[in-house]
Amino acid sequence: MSADEFKELCDFERKLKVGDKCLAYWTNSGIYWRAEVKVKAINKKSYQVEIVGDVVPAGVSGMTYPVGQKLNIPNTLNYDRWTWNNRVAPLEQKNKSEGGQQNARD
């Protein structure tokens, strides 16, 4: 991630408010997940989001994340937990080529 890309992400996070829809990326058991989410709460170092769209990859190894499930996603201020694969991003990135893990975008 370039400095300009990181600045764009920080600018996006600063404008994010409760009720906004965005993408969430997270990891669990070595699997990279992505879903459209709605921001439910903004904490000092994280966002509480609720899944509102399909989760990719779906049903891997019997694991599922249903619509309505809430997750805590670290923000860029939480530098010890934030990574390219554990973040929020603008919805338009869903169809845009991104850097980072390939399977986080599939």
| pLDDT-above-90 percentage for the chain | 40
Fill in the amino acid letter for 72. Answer: N
What distance in Å separates the CA atoms of residue 33 and residue 88, rounded to the nearest whole number?
12
Tokens 């990719």 belong to residue: 56
Question: pLDDT tens for residues 2-41?
Answer: 888 888 888 898 899 999 999 999 988 888 899 999 999 9
Domains and CATH numbers, the chain: 3-95 (2.30.30)
| pLDDT-above-70 percentage for the chain | 84
